[in-house]
Amino acid sequence: MHAFDVLGDPVRRRILELLAGGEHSSGQVVEIVQREFDISQPAVSQHLKVLRESGFASVRVEGTRRLYSVDGAAMQEVDAWLERFRGFWSHKLGALATEVARGIRLRSKKPASSGETGPSARSRKRRSRS
């Protein structure tokens, strides 16, 4: 199965998101995915199997538990495929980073406000003079 066929399924993408946060037992994955997608335990197990067999997830046995984690091998295939397209967005992300840095510099150069300004501050000053 091609990597994007595996990633095309929202349940498998969600499982990978969970595993990206750290190792999870199959029971934890089943509990979360059943709650979010309303699918059966065997269906979740099938998705875990597809992830395992396609190289996106690995499993280790600890006593009676099966602990799943992300396996980076298949992710490298996805990354290599995306490399051809990075030029379409990398310069835009670079420009965004420049603008964010410029905004941070401008904010840090502004002097701290010494008092209130604006319509409500002016009206309070007028009332206090009366």
Tokens (6 digits) for 32: 């979360």
45 part of a folded domain = yes
Tokens (6 digits) for 82: 């995306």
pLDDT tens for 2-33 read 898 999 999 999 999 999 999 999 999 999 99
128 part of a folded domain = no
pTM over the 0.75 mark: no
30 part of a folded domain = yes
Greater confidence, 44 or 93?
44
130 part of a folded domain = no
pLDDT tens for 111-123 read 665 555 555 555 5
- CATH code of residue 69: 1.10.10.10
69 part of a folded domain = yes
Give the chain's domain count: 1
Range of the domain at 27: 3-76
108 part of a folded domain = no
Closest CA to 17 of 39, 37, 42, 43: 37
98 part of a folded domain = no
